Amino acid sequence: MNGAESLVRTLVSGGVNLCFANPGTSEMHFVAALDRVEGMRCVLCLYEGVVTGAADVYYRMTGNPASTLLHLGPGLGNGLANLHNAKKARSGVVNIVGEHAGYHIKHDAPLTSDIEGVARPMSDWVRTALSAKTVAADGALAIQAAREPPGRVATLILPADTAWGDADGPATVQPPVARRPVAGDAISAGARALTCGELALLFLGGVAMRGRALELAGRIAAKTGCRLMSEFNNARMESGAGRVPAPRLPYVVDVALAALKGVRQLVLVGAKTPVSFFAYPGKPSVLIPDDCAVTKVAGAESDLEGALEALADTLDARHTPPAVASLARPALPTGEVTVEGITAVLVALLPEHAVVIDESITTGRGFATAMSGAAPHDWLTIVGGSIGWGLPAAVGAAIGAPDRKVIALEGDGSAMYTLQALWSMARENLDVTVIVFANRSYKILHTELANVGAGTPGRRANDMLTLDRPNLDWVDLAKGFGVEAGRAASLEEFAQQFRRGLARRGPYLVELVI
């Protein structure tokens, strides 16, 4: 058995049985080992940003890391932006990055680069394998690192000779470490803050936005009268009918400041003190009022459900019924395309237990909050803020949750970064409906230009913000990747096209012209 096979066997026996791959020469022994080892599903992606974005969201859906297979420093570079998103989302990922054979590196062949240097900014754990005999043990450590709560990006660099040299066999992967329990004094402090009589906000992040944790937060809010909100970005939040609404913090600074006005007690469970996404001249970075006290009950790595349970017990809220959203499907609107109309179509037609990938940027800023009346669903956002995440995310979601409909809401500018994901959707027949909001513009930047005090764009600046001349044709693009597609230019056409996507089991793309 060679090193590559010992590594693949270690991954599979350690429960990492999915590999998103874009391999090259230095990874050929790993690829060849796939034929000798049962149990590893390998999904080819035609660009590394697809590989890493899919791995991010596969973890968000399953809680189990996927591995990636990337080709040397530049291949890892192509995957960095979505590893950034994965790291910020606290997703566990096991990157396997090929490298030249150890003895070859000194010759500075064309593809030689400082791979550890490329890896470090977007990884929590980096190691270069030193021999074929030890690469399996390195792989086991990488899996353990990726599973460290709440999830980490681990990058193992695999020199070609450690892949092709003789190995002894797979290594044993230690069981995952449990999430850290929250100390009683943090619980007591949280309970005091929520009941001191001042306007209190229970601010949720991470897995506190799911399942029993979210329900417990709702009971606490019902009992204490505190407000509930969630971070602007969340790796995966449950929403819709029957769920406790915890609206996202607004993106726009002034709107966020208004939403937080008057709050005197901020209680953090899995969230951080809210800060603005960007800095703007004359506006604050920290968004809570100056006189607001902050109580951190639990960080993202902690046992958030346990913390909320203890908090509920302290507050005698365990049996207080939470306020939950009711199903409120609007009538299907018609006529000209408006954001309100799009929202109504989405709320009306969203299937039960859909997984919604939200990279809708400007168009979709209000979607998530409005979706509380829709059927119950999961809502996923770009936690690291780097666009080009959504289509790869949809690949990872569809593979991680094969029995659920995935709906990717995409700005046209964002979708363009990693559109190669469409091909993997076609090849794997993934059950994804993609909606591209074609405003033919980096529309967010028009507002941002004004927000940072840079005025109104002239001709040259405007050329940097628009995607017209020529317009992108998303129907042709989708067809080029083997994905069926249709265009909508009115709300009734949008509803019809969306239904067409929902009706099939497989990928479909709707270009909605705005």
The interface with a copy of itself within residues 451-490 (CB under 8 A) comprises 451-455, 457-461, 463-465, 467, 469-482
What's the rounded Cα separation, in Å, for the pair 505 and 501?
8
The sign of the CA dihedral 397, 429, 41, 68 is: negative
Residue with tokens 């799009």: 342
Q: Of 15, 24, 63, 366, which one interacts with a copy of itself (CB under 8 A)?
A: 24
Q: Contacts with a copy of itself: how many residues (CB under 8 A)? A: 104
Q: What is the DSSP letter of 375?
A: S
The interface with a copy of itself within residues 359-378 (CB under 8 A) comprises none
Let me know: does 76 contact 97? Beta carbons within 8 Å: yes
Beta bridge partners of 69: 21, 96
The interface with a copy of itself within residues 216-235 (CB under 8 A) comprises 233
Question: Token pair of 309, please?
Answer: 């349970």
107 binds a copy of itself (CB under 8 A): yes
Closer to a copy of itself at the Cβ: 162 or 343? 162
Q: Of 3, 11, 14, 23, which one interacts with a copy of itself (CB under 8 A)?
A: 23
Closer to a copy of itself at the Cβ: 4 or 213? 4
Question: Token pair of 316, please?
Answer: 């005698």
Question: Token pair of 392, please?
Answer: 């790869």
The interface with a copy of itself within residues 249-278 (CB under 8 A) comprises 272, 275-278
Residue 358 C-beta: closest distance to a copy of itself, Å: 14
Question: Token pair of 83, please?
Answer: 């590893």
Rounded to a whole number, what is the distance in angstroms from the first to the last CA of the chain? 57
Closer to a copy of itself at the Cβ: 448 or 492? 448
Residue 301 C-beta: closest distance to a copy of itself, Å: 15
Q: What are phi and psi of 449, to 5 degrees?
A: -55, -45
Closer to a copy of itself at the Cβ: 79 or 373? 79
Give the DSSP H or E segment for 95.
Answer: strand 93-99
Closer to a copy of itself at the Cβ: 460 or 505? 460
Residue 131 C-beta: closest distance to a copy of itself, Å: 15
Question: Token pair of 195, please?
Answer: 């009941």
Half-sphere exposure of 277 (CA within 13 A, CB side): 21
Q: Of 448, 496, 502, 506, which one interacts with a copy of itself (CB under 8 A)?
A: 448
45-53, 241-249, 372-380, 490-498 -> range binding a copy of itself (CB under 8 A): 45-53
Exposed e or buried b for every residue in 144-161, given b needs 16+ CB within 10 A?
bbbbbbbbbbbbbbbbbb
Closer to a copy of itself at the Cβ: 434 or 478? 478
The interface with a copy of itself within residues 56-95 (CB under 8 A) comprises 72-75, 77-78, 80-81, 84-85, 88
What's the rounded Cα separation, in Å, for the pair 2 and 68?
19
The sign of the CA dihedral 434, 435, 441, 446 is: negative
Residue 124 C-beta: closest distance to a copy of itself, Å: 13
Closer to a copy of itself at the Cβ: 120 or 192? 120
Residue 88 C-beta: closest distance to a copy of itself, Å: 6
Q: What is the DSSP letter of 406?
A: E
What's the rounded Cα separation, in Å, for the pair 330 and 372?
12
Distances (CA, A) of 33 to 172, 176, 292: 18, 26, 57
The interface with a copy of itself within residues 132-161 (CB under 8 A) comprises 160-161
What's the rounded Cα separation, in Å, for the pair 244 and 312?
15
Question: Token pair of 338, please?
Answer: 């408006």
Q: Of 1, 62, 104, 222, which one interacts with a copy of itself (CB under 8 A)?
A: 104
Residue 12 C-beta: closest distance to a copy of itself, Å: 13
Q: Is 240 left (phi over 0), alpha (psi -120 to 50) or beta?
A: left
Q: Of 15, 17, 44, 329, which one interacts with a copy of itself (CB under 8 A)?
A: 44
Half-sphere exposure of 183 (CA within 13 A, CB side): 4
172 binds a copy of itself (CB under 8 A): no
The interface with a copy of itself within residues 385-404 (CB under 8 A) comprises 385-386, 388
What character string, x for contact with a copy of itself (CB under 8 A) and - otherwise, covers 405-444?
Answer: --------x--xx-xx--x--xx----------------x
CA angle in degrees (0–180, nearest 5) for 74-80-86: 150
The interface with a copy of itself within residues 290-319 (CB under 8 A) comprises none
Closer to a copy of itself at the Cβ: 465 or 502? 465
Contacts of 83 (CB under 8 A, 6+ apart): 52, 56, 93, 95, 122, 123, 153
Q: Of 31, 200, 220, 246, which one interacts with a copy of itself (CB under 8 A)?
A: 31
What's the rounded Cα separation, in Å, for the pair 97 and 160?
10
Residue 15 C-beta: closest distance to a copy of itself, Å: 19
Residue 289 C-beta: closest distance to a copy of itself, Å: 16
Closer to a copy of itself at the Cβ: 4 or 491? 4
Closer to a copy of itself at the Cβ: 204 or 383? 383
Closer to a copy of itself at the Cβ: 282 or 321? 282
What's the rounded Cα separation, in Å, for the pair 243 and 211?
9
112-120, 335-343, 355-363, 401-409 -> range binding a copy of itself (CB under 8 A): 112-120
